[in-house]
Structure 1
Amino acid sequence: MKHLLLTCLLGLFSLTSTAQQPLEWDELLEELYATNDENRDAREDDYDVLADLAAHPLNLNTASREELARIPFLTAEQIEDLQAYVYQYHGMQSLGELAMIESLDALRRQLLPYFVYVSPVEEQCKFPSLKAIAKGGKHCFLLTANVPFYQREGDRQGYLGYPYTHSFRYSFRYSDYVQAGLVGAQDAGEPFLAHGNGLGYDHYSFYLLLRKMGRVKALAIGRYKVSFGQGLVINNSLGFGKLAMLSMLGRQATAIRAHSSRSAANYLQGAASTIEIAKHLNLTTFLSYRSIDATLTDDGTIKTILKTGYHRTLREISRKDAASQLAAGAHVGWSSGAISLSLSGVYSRFNKDLTPNTSLYYRHYAPAGNDFWNVSADYSYQHPRWALTGETAIDGKGHIATVNNLSFQAAHNLSLLAVQRYYDYQYTALFARSFGDNGTVQNESGLLIGANWGLTRGLSLMAYTDFAYFSHPRFGAHTVSKAWDNLLMLTYNRQRWSLLARYRLRIRGRDNADKTMLLNEVAQRGRLALTYSAASLACKSQLDVATSSSVKRSIGYMVSESGTWKPLSWLTLNGMIGYFQTTDFASRIYVYERGPLYSFSFPAFFGKGMHYSLFARADLSSRLMIILRSATTHYFDRDHISSGLQQVNSSTLSGLDIQLRWRF
């Protein structure tokens, strides 16, 4: 069954795509994050999932259900229909046959070719030999660096390393059977080959992932990520934010994948496996032990778990690997036809007690103690016209969390969706990440109702309203509070022209300056974008507007123009320029711009100024590729930027990204 919100997200992607432009799918991330203030590490990690899929697409003629489930924008019905078509017609001859699958709308048919291909079925009755792997495996080496053309206060005095950010990625892959790699990453200001980094980089990630070994469907060794069910007990694999997580609720998301990003947080370390223990019955288990960054109390307990990964100063280095965490879990899943049922359990223990500062009103119910465990049941039923999916979980102290999704195909051009969630204010799950308004699986109940309506050919309308209730204090609200989120989106396509109009209204209760009462914070965001696309040329004109009103009123706008030109088959050029003016940070504007592989630029603009960037990608051969990107932001209303060690005594920020990829 169609998932209305993701369909519209794919529609937004289609508006800005250009034929033959590499990695066009990255435009999708703009809409996934355009209305969410999310951790950059999470953004980069999610981007890494899609980038890996685009670099190593799946063969539709041989892909299993579990492999197709790795494509996050496919619904359960679409996965079933793809497999049924391949079985009935003994494979696909070309991707044009996607048009024969009714559940795939035109937008998904346009996006899928970036992540799948078709080729004749090759008989592979068993896992390949080591000789075949060594001979047929493909190597890839990727170097990325950022050179800033400015100096921070910390670069003068405070940071122990130089101001350059750089990383490397080495990966080895044999078809879809073997995946191995090593990642090294260095943030600006971190010491290299000094202050404890005797091996050079501040962060390393290593992994080995094996698939299709008979009954062993997947085996991960090293650093990896896991998700069970709808994420109420564990999900450190995907976290696209509110809209995209909503789109994933239509099917089970249990998966193991390698931690191949430069993020120094949100991963497990050890081993994990998925084993077919009987027909229709799979068992996924994991065991992890890793060091974590933390601030400690005078008594030696853990006050705060840190996830930034920064080790630029002596103080930050003193918090590196200050504690350790043991985690283990299992997921037993049974599926047959339209029904899926699963049970999950996760246990975690620190080497020191977790003692957060609960005197802060918004941390009164923060996780505390040492031993944590959760169990859950997730379930799914797929009908040709409707689907019900969900998960219900309980923690070690008996607190409940549940999320349930009901979708209904009212007509061929009308889809309806409802999502209910209830997260007890004391529910504790250290690895949980699921649908919600508050950013955590705790202290929230709510209901979202949405509709997607294809008004006529080329014209579609999407709308949702989401109400959330917080029964206890949360960050920014010292007492009971509410939130109301609404979105209205219109898309129109006609030949080479596309039009997007989007409006979002969000009302949340927030503390006044004295924290004596709540005031309604009313935030409004709008976007109008016109795109022209041709075979080797595309351009987009865009207007973004944002307002916020609570104690005071803030308003901002940004006008931007971007274009992509492919003058030669091996060369892609992209440029963007924009003028922004906002009252303050409350009315900030987010605009996506093209970045190097496995990373993306999604900055927030506020104040008064201009931003422009130039991007060039040259595929010099099938083995060698180079990317250069220069970006500059110039402010008209200030003579310094940021504060503290990050302060830049200039009105301009500019830098150069360099990336080199070598395949052999």
Structure 2
Amino acid sequence: MKKWILIGILLVLVSLKLPAQTYRKGEINIEAFIEELFAMQQGEEEFEDMYESLLQLFLNPIHLNKTTPEELKSIFILNPYQINSFFTYKESFGQLISIYELQAIPGFDMETIYKILPFVTLSENEGLSNRPLIKRITTERDAYFIFRQNRVWETRRGFTPPDTLSNGRLTSRYLGDPNNLYARFRIQHSKDFSLGFTIDKDPGEEFVWDPDTKRYGFNFLSYHFALYNQKKWKAIMLGDFQAQFGQGLVYGAGFSVGKGAETITTVRRSSIGLRPYTGAMEFGFFRGIGASYQSGNWTTTIIASHAPRDGRVTATLDTLERQELIISSLQLSGLHRTPTEIAYKDQIRESNLGGNLQFNSINKTFQFGLNSLLTRFSQPFIRNPQVYNQFEFSGQENHIHSLYFSYNLHNYFFFGESAISKSGGMGSTLGMMSSLSKQLDLAILWRKFDRNFHTFYGNAFSENTRPINEEGVYIGLNFKPSIRYNWSFYYDQFKFPWLKFRTYAPSEGYEWLSRFTYRPSKAVLLFAQFREESKGRNISEMLGPQSTYQLAVGKKWNYVINLDYRINASWSIKSRVMGSRFDFNRQISKGYAISQDLNADFQKWRISSRFVLFDTDDFDNRQYIYERNVLWAFSIPALHGQGMRYYLLGQYRVNPKLTLWARFGRTIYTDREQIGSGLQTIDGNTQTETTFQLRYQFNR
């Protein structure tokens, strides 16, 4: 009875406190997520897989009455104090009856609650499994089809007639048209089933049916069928899927962030297990079968995959002068525009056989697991030897094995993983997250990856893009004395014991970031952010007589000052000033960008716009700003040189089934008459792109 009285009071308070606010459960505020989790934004390719993982969490929300600490950590929103408070509340008051009960839990303010709402639920699937599967699929409301077309309107060199060389040969050109075509179909119900496909044609790729070159209209096809919670079978995957267990040393797919303005929760990976792959990136996924079987506190997962990969296969002579085929390079771009790129398509077969064994204690505070993965290529992989890559993977197969754990003790979360690959190289991470008080959070992470540690599907916390040849210690702090003020800070010290690309000597460095956020009201958000990074790299890559590579330390400073202001329920603005300074070999260069957004939301209609001025001395000072785009698409252009950029995005919901998007963007440079290089060159100082998209939702 007391609990029902409490919920009634909360409902009254919500109605009094938030009369003008509405929340649409069917949306992810991806812009807010990127602003917090990725303090320094990079190229678009680094966000695509992250957004796919975020989308999987959104489509498969966490049931608050059945969740575990591991699940709640996977969304990178709640700190240790909030997670511990959540389960303490449930022990005292029982299961949640209403989502508004979250306000009664210590540490849960309205800002936090609005952040997690897209990823949690209290609805049940009871009675669903009693209906035939085909009936559940054909009547599912979460079924949709998306089609997208976008292109750059200025003519790139790759689309012009070829030139004739002095030897009579023609220069290479793109075979297809400049349109990028993308389509996705999916039907899924959280914790029950999922099926769908994704098809994609990149600009310059030819839309042709040619089995000899393994091109069948669209140049890429991804597909999957998944069942969940079939008695003791926790998950069964057919087609394309990914896996994440432990801290990402062996299986590191999924929503992993690293260093950002959220300095606490992002240092740890969560064991989310198997999940469908629905993206358009043409690598980083398994194709075959995966299954997880749960018996008591133990869960066993098996993975069997046989997938095509792009790469260059060449013929060499062995010691007996017999011809042998080898892989000289792997191609990860996924582009098949020219005869050379087409020749690389699906030339390699990659086979994977792996598994996971995981134990979870009854009270869900302790987790322990083992990972194993064997990867074999159709031909030996022999890299072009360079001074920096002599400890990289070479051969036809690799196997890697690891042990991992996580342990929750009140407001302290301990976690770690240690792995060894076929080469004998080891990789290890060990960390702790803690809420030292209601206002202060702390995170510490140590990692060490040998120079000959080889993992193909790993995605552990690291300074490098891959966990190899690195040692480091990270310390993060977050101080929130009140709902209005927040200060986040991290410091990361790292070193690279062996050579790297563009760094031909052992080196070390550091990075720190500090962000101060002020929220005087629900309508205003102001933050200022400063970052410094110090790394060594080659002064010159040109070798002279009897010379050696010389290193210099490059120091880069970044700053961002940002203001978000919601004028009323329909209109909002965002103003930003950002800049950088790069000091390398006693040469100093600078850059800045100033942007202004104006956004409108009229329920059926939405309009977003931005105007940017930028001026940078060189590419090292390029400025990245996340742009709003059509649903489930990214735009994070690298602004460098001098010029301006603007875009206009419109969205219109025709009816409950059909929604349309249209976007126009243009960059105008004032310091050049040619944009890009090679076949991507545009003669002129303007680049214009448009995007059109439709989404049709079935059974609405």
Query: What is the CA deviation profile of residues 591-636 of structure 1, one whole-angstrom value per residue up to 9, with x for unaligned ones?
Result: 1110111211111100000010001111111111001111110000
CA-CA distance at 1:105 after TM superposition = 5.4
CA-CA distance at 1:252 after TM superposition = 3.3
Q: Does 1:130 align with 2:147?
A: no
- How many Å separate the matches in 1 of 2:342 and 2:91? 56
Equivalent pair of 1:227/1:253 in contact (CA under 8 Å): yes
Within-5 A mapping of 1:573-588: 573-588=607-622
- Secondary structure in 1 aligned to 2:308? strand
Specify which of 23, 26, 39 is matched with residue 28 of structure 2.
23
Specify which of 363, 371, 376 is matched with residue 349 of structure 1.
376
- Secondary structure in 2 aligned to 1:475? coil
Q: Give, as a single letter, the amino acid of the residue that structure 2 aligns with 1:273.
A: A
- Structure 1 stretch 83-92 or stretch 21-30: which is displaced more? 83-92
- How many Å separate the matches in 2 of 1:547 and 1:391? 37
- Secondary structure in 2 aligned to 1:363? coil
Equivalent pair of 1:563/1:575 in contact (CA under 8 Å): yes
Q: 1:131 to 1:23 in 2, by over 3 A?
A: closer
Within-5 A mapping of 1:119-158: 119=123, 121=124, 123-124=126-127, 126=129, 128-138=131-141, 139-157=143-161, 158=173
CA-CA distance at 1:33 after TM superposition = 3.9
- How many Å separate the matches in 1 of 2:369 and 2:79? 18
Q: 1:301 to 1:457 in 2, by over 3 A?
A: same
CA-CA distance at 1:276 after TM superposition = 0.3
- How many Å separate the matches in 1 of 2:301 and 2:84? 22
Specify which of 192, 195, 201 is matched with residue 186 of structure 1.
201
- Structure 1 stretch 467-476 or stretch 227-236: which is displaced more? 227-236
Q: Give, as a single letter, the amino acid of the residue that structure 1 aligns with 2:595.
A: S
Aligned twin of 1:559 = 594
- Structure 1 stretch 485-494 or stretch 73-82: which is displaced more? 73-82
- Secondary structure in 2 aligned to 1:150? coil
CA-CA distance at 1:194 after TM superposition = 4.5
Q: Does 1:159 align with 2:174?
A: yes
Q: 1:322 to 1:72 in 2, by over 3 A?
A: farther
Within-5 A mapping of 1:451-466: 451-466=477-492
- Structure 1 stretch 65-74 or stretch 649-658: which is displaced more? 65-74
CA-CA distance at 1:387 after TM superposition = 1.8
Superposition TM-score, scaled by structure 2 size: 0.87
Q: Does 1:170 align with 2:185?
A: yes
Aligned twin of 1:115 = 119
Equivalent pair of 2:561/2:576 in contact (CA under 8 Å): yes
CA-CA distance at 1:361 after TM superposition = 2.0
CA-CA distance at 1:52 after TM superposition = 4.1
Within-5 A mapping of 1:600-615: 600-615=634-649
- How many Å separate the matches in 1 of 2:411 and 2:37? 27
Aligned twin of 2:424 = 398
Equivalent pair of 1:151/1:648 in contact (CA under 8 Å): yes
Q: Give, as a single letter, the amino acid of the residue that structure 2 aligns with 1:560.
A: S
Aligned twin of 1:15 = none
CA-CA distance at 1:67 after TM superposition = 6.2
Q: Give, as a single letter, the amino acid of the residue that structure 2 aligns with 1:527.
A: V
Query: What is the CA deviation profile of residues 339-359 of structure 1, one whole-angstrom value per residue up to 9, with x for unaligned ones?
Result: 11111111111110010123x
Structure 1 residues without counterparts, runs of 5 or longer: 1-17
Aligned twin of 1:290 = 307
- Structure 1 stretch 413-422 or stretch 513-522: which is displaced more? 513-522
- Structure 1 stretch 253-262 or stretch 218-227: which is displaced more? 253-262
Aligned twin of 1:271 = 289
CA-CA distance at 1:385 after TM superposition = 2.6
Aligned twin of 1:334 = 359
Equivalent pair of 1:252/1:380 in contact (CA under 8 Å): no
- How many Å separate the matches in 2 of 1:431 and 1:457? 40
CA-CA distance at 1:103 after TM superposition = 5.1
Equivalent pair of 1:30/1:602 in contact (CA under 8 Å): no
CA-CA distance at 1:86 after TM superposition = 5.9
- How many Å separate the matches in 1 of 2:70 and 2:495? 36
Within-5 A mapping of 1:191-202: 191-195=206-210, 196=213, 199-202=216-219
CA-CA distance at 1:254 after TM superposition = 3.9
- Secondary structure in 2 aligned to 1:146? strand
Query: What is the CA deviation profile of residues 360-391 of structure 1, one whole-angstrom value per residue up to 9, with x for unaligned ones?
Result: 12212111011211111101111113221010
Aligned twin of 1:10 = none
Equivalent pair of 1:245/1:435 in contact (CA under 8 Å): no
- How many Å separate the matches in 2 of 1:320 and 1:30? 36
Within-5 A mapping of 1:353-432: 353-358=380-385, 360-432=386-458
- How many Å separate the matches in 1 of 2:481 and 2:658? 46
CA-CA distance at 1:186 after TM superposition = 0.5
- How many Å separate the matches in 2 of 1:638 and 1:257? 46
Specify which of 198, 202, 207 is matched with residue 224 of structure 2.
207
Q: 1:124 to 1:82 in 2, by over 3 A?
A: farther
- How many Å separate the matches in 2 of 1:454 and 1:402? 31
Q: Does 1:528 align with 2:561?
A: yes
- Structure 1 stretch 136-145 or stretch 443-452: which is displaced more? 136-145
Aligned twin of 1:35 = 40
- How many Å separate the matches in 2 of 1:645 and 1:125? 54
Superposition TM-score, scaled by structure 1 size: 0.92
Q: 1:233 to 1:23 in 2, by over 3 A?
A: closer
Query: What is the CA deviation profile of residues 402-451 of structure 1, one whole-angstrom value per residue up to 9, with x for unaligned ones?
Result: 00111232222111111100111111112211101112111100101121
Within-5 A mapping of 1:465-476: 465-476=491-502
Equivalent pair of 1:246/1:435 in contact (CA under 8 Å): no
Q: 1:49 to 1:252 in 2, by over 3 A?
A: closer
Query: What is the CA deviation profile of residues 4-31 of structure 1, one whole-angstrom value per residue up to 9, with x for unaligned ones?
Result: xxxxxxxxxxxxxx96575323331244
CA-CA distance at 1:242 after TM superposition = 3.5
Larger radius of gyration: 2
Q: Give, as a single letter, the amino acid of the residue that structure 2 aligns with 1:319.
A: Y
- How many Å separate the matches in 1 of 2:421 and 2:111? 40
Q: 1:104 to 1:229 in 2, by over 3 A?
A: farther
Equivalent pair of 1:137/1:173 in contact (CA under 8 Å): yes
Equivalent pair of 2:379/2:396 in contact (CA under 8 Å): yes
- Secondary structure in 2 aligned to 1:96? helix
Q: 1:399 to 1:198 in 2, by over 3 A?
A: closer
- How many Å separate the matches in 1 of 2:59 and 2:609? 24
Aligned twin of 1:235 = 252
Aligned twin of 1:7 = none
Q: 1:216 to 1:660 in 2, by over 3 A?
A: same
Equivalent pair of 2:61/2:190 in contact (CA under 8 Å): no
Q: Give, as a single letter, the amino acid of the residue that structure 1 aligns with 2:217.
A: G
- Secondary structure in 2 aligned to 1:263? coil
Aligned twin of 1:318 = 343
- How many Å separate the matches in 1 of 2:641 and 2:525? 30
Specify which of 509, 512, 521 is matched with residue 539 of structure 2.
512
